[in-house]
Amino acid sequence: MLLRKCALGGFRALLCRTYTQNQKHIVVHPEIRQALSQKQPIVALESTIITHGMPVPQNVETALQVEEMVRQNGAVPATIGIIDGCIKVGLTQEELMKLAHKPREQVIKCSRRDLPYVVAAQQSGGTTVAATMIVAHQVGIPIFATGGIGGVHREGHVTMDVSADLVELGRTPVAVVCSGVKSILDIPRTLEYLETQGVCVASYASMGGVFPDFYTRDSGCKVPYNLETAADAARLLRAWRELDLQSGVLIGVPIPEEFAADKSAIDAAIEQANAEAQAQGVSGKEVTPFLLSHIAGITKGRSLQANIALIKNNAAVAAQIASAWVAGNG
Ligand code: PSU
Ligand code: MN
């Protein structure tokens, strides 16, 4: 079974002329293959948000709406995930449903360290920002949109709970468009860590380079650069590729004003959820999903609505940037 699946993946990859030894486990959807060969704008999308970040049915609805936003803004969406050990670039609707509806214990949250096991054991998984960056880069997609990335957890300087997303941004040349880092994390330390990793971090259409705060527009932290338009971002991305730095770019897009959450209510919910996580001894990769679902419960779903709105907006911005880049008008 393993041989058959992998051989098929290798064969398909050969067909799309992007085959390397690394890629025999990756199957690229024909639409994405065509977009790659025709150099059309493409936006990669992750799947941990579907498998572990949101409840059913909002996870599937959002994933489909996000893909639609990418299309409406002139790019081809490529949602990345793992089905029965095959890494898929461009999940079909059927595959997306399959991932979204699987019981959580049957679907693995896959970061860089999880990929060899999940592929070898023919398991299914949602790819985190780190794993999605790896796969996107391997098939030649340089732009990726999501809600928020992982970061340094509160007390992370003691517990060493620092997301592998940050290290990946330091070592893989993919530009991630997101709403920054969730305020369940330590935002100042996360930005420090990204600086250490050499990641080019910019805000997008945010006055004074104020870095967003996921559910709200202002984290109180500033980053050195602000990109005012998609053309500005495309210009930066072109220089980044020409410099061949081999590290990532992070573009922080604030949540649209009308969807921003009330800061004090969100802060209170985060405190409460953090206290519950500590009381229940939640650790490791379970921390982020636990906090997200508890905050959604405490805020009676308002945090989830904000989350959905910002992901859709980020997908639109990423598609506009990808289009400006390809059109060469950046
Ligand atoms: N932020 C969200 N929802 C999510 C995630 C982040 O609002 O589902 C996921 C992303 O896939 C991210 C991962 O890459 O959580 C980070 O997990 P960890 O902190 O365990 O590295
Ligand atoms: Mn962690």
3-state helix, strand, coil in the chain (%, to 5): 55, 15, 30
Instruction: Kindly state if the Cβ of 53 falls inside 6 Å of ligand 1.
Output: yes
Q: Which pLDDT band, with edges at 50, 70 and 90, does 329 fall under?
A: low
Give the residue numbers annotated as catalytic, written as ranges: 46, 182
pLDDT at 182: 86
**From 18-27, 224-233, 250-259, 290-299, the region with the lowest mean pLDDT:** 18-27
Q: pTM, whole model, 2 decimals?
A: 0.93
Atom of ligand 1 nearest to the CA of 53: 8
The rounded percent of the chain whose pLDDT value lies above 70 is: 93
Atom of ligand 1 nearest to the CA of 307: 7
Instruction: Kindly state if the Cβ of 150 falls inside 6 Å of ligand 1.
Output: yes
ipTM surpassing 0.90, yes or no? Answer: yes
pLDDT at 290: 93
Residues lying with their CB under 5 A of ligand 2, a single-atom ion:
161
Ligand 2 centre and the CA of 150: distance in Å?
Answer: 8
Q: What is the mean pLDDT of the chain?
A: 92
Convert the pLDDT of each residue in 309-325 to its tens digit.
999 999 999 999 999 99
Please list, residue by residue across 106-139, b when 16 or more beta carbons sit within 10 angstroms of its beta carbon and e when fewer do.
ebbbbbbebbeebbeeebbbbbbbbbbbbbbbbb
Long-range contacts from 242-246, C-beta under 8 angstroms, 24+ separation: 244/173, 245/173, 245/198, 246/171, 246/172, 246/173
Instruction: Kindly state if the Cβ of 52 falls inside 6 Å of ligand 1.
Output: yes
Q: Which pLDDT band, with edges at 50, 70 and 90, does 18 fall under?
A: very low
Q: Which pLDDT band, with edges at 50, 70 and 90, does 103 fall under?
A: confident
